[in-house]
Amino acid sequence: MKRFILLVLMFLPIVVLSQEKSNFHSLDTNVISEVEISTYRLQGYRKNLHNTRYSQKDLSRLGVLSASDLLQTLSSAHVNSYGHSGLASPSIRGTGANHTQVYWNGLPINSITLGQSDLTIITTELSDNVSISYGSDLSNTSGALGGTIELNQAVSWKSSSILYRQSIGSFGTTGTTVRIDESVGSFHYSVGIVQLSSLNDFKYTDRTLRIPIQKTMENADFSQLGLVGTIGTKLDRHEIKISSLITDSERSLPTIMGVQTKGEKQSDKNVFGVIDYQFIGDKIKNQLKLGYVRLENKYFNPSIEFESLNFSQMFTIEDDIKVYFNTPWSLSMRIAGRFEYADSPNYKQQIKREILSNFSKIERRKENSYHSFSLRTEFIDQKGVGLFPGVGGSIKLIKNKPLHLKWNGSRNFRMPTLNDLYWLPGGNDALMPETGYCGDIGLSSNLVSNRKRTNSKIINKLTFQAVSFYSIISNWILWTPNGQNWSPRNVKKVQNSGLEFSLNLSRTVNSIRGSKNLGLSLSYTLVENTVLESTLIGDKGIGKSLLFVPKHCFKYKIDYQIKDWIIIAGQGLTGRVFLDAANQSYMPFYGPVYFIVSKEVKHTKGAGLKLGIKVNNLLNEEYQVMPYRPMPGVNFKIMGEINF
Amino acid sequence: MKYLIFILSTVTIFGCTKKEIGPQHINEPLFAGQKVLVLNEGNFGWGNASISAYNPNQNRVANGIFSSVNNVPLGDVCQSGIRWNTSYLIVVNNSNRIEILDSTNLESIGHIDCMGSPRYLLPARHERAYVSDLYSGLLGIVNLDNYQLVDSIPVPGWVENLIYGNDFLYATCPNDESVICIDTTFNAVIQSIDVGIVATSVVKDRNNQLWVLGLGSGATSAHLLCIDPSTNTIITNFEFPEFEAPTQLKINGTGEELFYLNNGICRMHISDNELPSNKLITGYGQNNYGLSINPLTNEIYLTDAKDFIQPGSLFRFSQNGQLIDSVDCGIIPQAVIF
């Protein structure tokens, strides 16, 4: 606690300094928009990475409710899903689930005990936008060797709205969202509540029987209640925002096919809170953040009357300052302190960990080029972990044409989780952090053309990103047998290389009869995942892929909008993944199709009504993502939304 | 309309290819002739338990034979098995089932639904067999004529290995740190012998004495005990050095030599007065997991589970510890049925 107070005092001068310098001459055009602030500044650090951003409107159009849905539907990432509403973990660019960092308003929310997030319980319904970045990122925390997922609350200064969204679907699935946003002068508040539930009692074919028969999924129900609140105010160039999100998720854990249910249940109660103070001057920006994350996970197995309660808390304080010079140069610095506490019946005592970090970045931004150099230093329990540099850049390849060549490179690391270090039995406090070198280079473009005809105007848009990436991660931590127990060890050196390609095409025709739009989005990811070295003698996995990493992922979405009608169809094809280190057994490819039809009716006073139906797994494909965990066949969801 | 047709035709083109469903494993055809069966546990919750057939004379192995013969997966966590008359009885722990296989062609001829989490099975008289269980707190009794669970006996929690001694059934109870004695006429526990260790393995020697191996609990070390079933008392007690974790106690065909895993394979004569100071076999395998002794040849079979996510290995040694051969098996090989 003393250190916490000390850090607060340490940051105060920076805040004061930033206020004093606010009378610098204005050169910066990045001033607060009248409508929206709280663009969470750290996003800017990842602009040079391959990244995609989705607004709440994008997500609601597609009936996306969770980060798991989002990644499966739209992203270049792969999701290992244990079934509808089951545990879902991400894999970006061939890395593991704990190489993807998930942030809520800038707070790292990956479990400090497990090192990863369960994407199913991360609701996107209460976020205003979600961003996915691909590739190593050093700016916020260490460990993002694969990529980052970021959920944010925005503050709108000049808009007020009430939203009611309701969905009803197959297998007793319902979802209700209510959100109120209100702005009065320089004061804003918003509150939102979401309730999701599903019985998940879908039919599946049990193929573990000699004569396969149809069964009903048992013990797979899911419910979630989420509550979000944000208040914000601004005075001149100063803003303050306080946000909080509470989620309470309960779910039953089904067994695999052929195994009787044991009635296992899991509950996750998460509390996130953040206070952001932001100052935006002409030549200096500053953001001070205080954050709190509490994760509580309870597991219960009634068949053996076993209960386990694990919880962790994290306090964070950080200051992020950016100074613009009178040249193309700017300097950013971010100092952060993170204090972690965790408790579990499998720890000898409550565990505490303290992480102090500094991230500095110098940037040179000109009209046709951008270059940056960054350096991260981190101290864990007052011991230095090392220096982690990063470079990035982009150049415009053809003058006056928006075709950019971008590149990034960095050295990154992931510290062992608290379970890796302290779990009894097996925890290994001699573990070294995983370290990696990651790089990517790619082309991106954003082309828009307008053509006018007699009674219409045609707008064609094309955006594409083609990125080639490479990473090599050493000291890869795996839990391996060690005598009577399993214990984590630094076992492997893993190389990932590949290609991400995404293309968005759209053609909009505006005429006096109304507007029409046809859009096509494609994404393809190729991942060559190879184990280069292993401490295991005679490891048959050397030269082979790790488990559950697909080599090919292809997703597409076609949407057609005419007047108030929108038709969307899409599919996510995932290639085979291996089930053993020698790559002898595998899960075959799958590619469920979805189809959405919706109609929007807008009232002249801004009120709107939207009705739609989504058909998941349109072709009733029988598939599994994880072995013997069936996914539902064709199913429906009726969606309604009133906005005024 | 043309756009709608375009959308639907694209979806149909990409969506209409199918294919394999669920996990795909290597299932090799069963060969004819002599074989021992290697039971591969597979990963808990992945449903990838399997059986490998091994011909020791030809150094030949066929993996995934249960699935290749029966066209269905074996289940989740293959824990143990025995040969009984013309059948193999295979205990599939997390699938809560005992598969009955015809010993000539390995075709499944039935199965027994158990009480939750079966571990080991021991046939008794009158076509009955006893089944130990991890969680139920019961010892199951099954009728091997009709493959039905017919009765159960309350026991103190987790029951592991089973053996007959002096006309009574003995069972190790790891959580209770005891060995229980059961009268099979009345199907009741008649005595609990406090052994003070997490007793797992039990074998019977040629003198009808019972040897029990268990890990220490709390501050105590692992012990190897000898129980006289005529008095139900501990007559010999060997303590292992601190931090040693011996497992898999087995005995050779003549009932004279004990074997166990302890960072290698240790051998001890039943008349020895102390634990062996040297290991019979070391340096084979990454993660020694299962140990079996062929009762006819006294050859030693060691399984290596490696990192639990790749095919394991089986090593075969002579009774003096000379390597004869080794073969690749399935995921997490453990028990061997001769």
Contacts of A588 in chain B (CB under 8 A): 19-22, 24
The answer to whether the complex's ipTM is over 0.90 is yes
Cβ–Cβ contact B4 with A under 8 A: yes
Q: Given this model, what pLDDT does residue A400 score?
A: 84
Pairwise CB contact (< 8 Å): B311 & A582: yes
> What is the mean pLDDT of the segment spanning A153-170?
88
> What is the mean pLDDT of the segment spanning A277-298?
93
Distant-in-sequence, close-in-space partners of A460: CB < 8 Å, separation ≥ 6: A447, A448, A449, A451, A505, A506, A507, A508
Phi, psi of A45 (to 5 degrees): -65, -25
Q: CA A597, CA B3: separation in Å to the nearest integer?
A: 14
State which H helix or E strand residue A19 sits in. Answer: helix A2-20
Task: Give A 183-222 residues with CB within 8 A of chain B.
Answer: 207-210
Chain A to chain B Cβ contacts (< 8 Å)? 147
Say if residue A425 is preceded by a cis peptide, omega within 30 of 0.
yes
Higher pLDDT, residue B163 or A486: B163
State the Cα torsion A472-A475-A480-A483 to the nearest 10°: 150
Q: Given this model, what pLDDT does residue A15 score?
A: 38
Other Cβ atoms less than 10 A from the Cβ of A566: the count is: 19
Pairwise CB contact (< 8 Å): A580 & B245: no
Pairwise CB contact (< 8 Å): A303 & B14: no
Q: Which of A491, A580, A586 sits opposite B331 (nearest CB)?
A: A580
Pairwise CB contact (< 8 Å): B47 & A584: no
Asked if A440 and A50 touch (Cβ cutoff 8 Å), the reply is yes
Pairwise CB contact (< 8 Å): A259 & B245: no
Q: Given this model, what pLDDT does residue B16 score?
A: 55
Identify the band that residue A383 occupies on the pLDDT scale cut at 50, 70 and 90. very high
Q: Which of A480, A569, A623 sits opposite B21 (nearest CB)?
A: A623
Cβ–Cβ contact B1 with A under 8 A: no
Nearest 5°: CA angle at A465, between A462 and A471? 175
Pairwise CB contact (< 8 Å): B23 & A624: yes
Pairwise CB contact (< 8 Å): B307 & A536: yes
- Pairing relationship of beta strands B108-113 and B198-204 according to DSSP bridges: unpaired
Average pLDDT, chain A: 89
Phi, psi of A44 (to 5 degrees): -60, -30
Pairwise CB contact (< 8 Å): A628 & B46: yes
Pairwise CB contact (< 8 Å): A537 & B24: no
Task: Give A 149-168 residues with CB within 8 A of chain B.
Answer: none
Pairwise CB contact (< 8 Å): B23 & A540: no
Chain B: give the shortest CA distance to residue A55, in Å: 24
Task: Give A 562-581 residues with CB within 8 A of chain B.
Answer: 567, 569, 571, 573, 579-581
Identify the band that residue B220 occupies on the pLDDT scale cut at 50, 70 and 90. confident
Q: How far apart are the first and last CA of chain B?
A: 69
Cβ–Cβ contact B20 with A under 8 A: yes
Cβ–Cβ contact B306 with A under 8 A: yes
Q: Given this model, what pLDDT does residue A74 score?
A: 86
Contacts of A634 in chain B (CB under 8 A): none
Least confident of A503-507, B14-18, B266-270: B14-18
Q: Given this model, what pLDDT does residue B1 score?
A: 58
Pairwise CB contact (< 8 Å): B23 & A556: no
Contacts of A556 in chain B (CB under 8 A): 10, 14
pLDDT (tens digit, 9 = 90+) per residue, B237-272? 999 998 899 999 999 999 999 999 999 999 999 999
Cβ–Cβ contact A484 with B under 8 A: yes
- Tell me how far the alpha carbon of residue B24 is from its chain's centroid: 25
Q: How far apart are the first and last CA of chain A?
A: 46
Distant-in-sequence, close-in-space partners of A398: CB < 8 Å, separation ≥ 6: none
Phi, psi of A490 (to 5 degrees): -80, 105
Pairwise CB contact (< 8 Å): B309 & A303: no
Q: Which of B19, B135, B310 sits opposite A540 (nearest CB)?
A: B310
Cβ–Cβ contact B26 with A under 8 A: yes
Pairwise CB contact (< 8 Å): A571 & B14: yes
**Looking at the domain A2-643, which fold is it?**
Maltoporin; Chain A (2.40.170)
Task: Give B 208-247 residues with CB within 8 A of chain A.
Answer: 215, 245, 247
pLDDT (tens digit, 9 = 90+) per residue, A122-142? 999 989 889 999 999 999 888
Q: Given this model, what pLDDT does residue A8 score?
A: 40
Cβ–Cβ contact B140 with A under 8 A: no
Chain A: give the shortest CA distance to residue B125, in Å: 30
Contacts of A260 in chain B (CB under 8 A): 96
Question: For B25, which residue in chain A has the nearest alpha carbon?
Answer: A585
Q: CA A552, CA A525: separation in Å to the nearest integer?
A: 6
Question: For B75, which residue in chain A has the nearest alpha carbon?
Answer: A258
Contacts of A627 in chain B (CB under 8 A): 22-23, 46-48
Q: CA A631, CA A633: separation in Å to the nearest integer?
A: 7
pLDDT (tens digit, 9 = 90+) per residue, B49-99? 999 999 999 989 999 999 999 999 999 999 999 999 999 999 999 999 999
The model carries a pTM of 0.90
Q: CA B197, CA A61: separation in Å to the nearest integer?
A: 62
Chain A: give the shortest CA distance to residue B138, in Å: 13
Cβ–Cβ contact B3 with A under 8 A: yes
Task: Answer whether residue B25 shows pLDDT above 60.
Answer: yes
Identify the residue whose tokens are 């025709």.
A509
Q: pLDDT above 70 covers what percent of chain A?
A: 93
Identify the band that residue B126 occupies on the pLDDT scale cut at 50, 70 and 90. confident
Contacts of B10 in chain A (CB under 8 A): 556, 558, 569
Other Cβ atoms less than 10 A from the Cβ of A161: the count is: 16
Contacts of B22 in chain A (CB under 8 A): 207, 587-588, 624, 627-628
Q: Given this model, what pLDDT does residue A610 score?
A: 93
> What is the mean pLDDT of the segment spanning A573-592?
96
Identify the band that residue A36 occupies on the pLDDT scale cut at 50, 70 and 90. very low
Residue type at position B118: P
Asked if B235 and B227 touch (Cβ cutoff 8 Å), the reply is yes
Pairwise CB contact (< 8 Å): A558 & B308: no
Q: Given this model, what pLDDT does residue A19 score?
A: 39
Cβ–Cβ contact A518 with B under 8 A: yes
> What is the mean pLDDT of the segment spanning A526-532?
97
Q: Given this model, what pLDDT does residue B119 score?
A: 97
Pairwise CB contact (< 8 Å): B46 & A579: yes
Task: Give A 274-303 residues with CB within 8 A of chain B.
Answer: 303
Cβ–Cβ contact A619 with B under 8 A: yes
Q: Which of A595, A618, A627 sits opposite B22 (nearest CB)?
A: A627
Strand, coil or helix: what is A121?
helix
Cβ–Cβ contact A331 with B under 8 A: no
Pairwise CB contact (< 8 Å): A579 & B48: yes
Q: Given this model, what pLDDT does residue B17 score?
A: 56
Residue type at position A581: A
Task: Answer whether residue A28 shows pLDDT above 90.
Answer: no
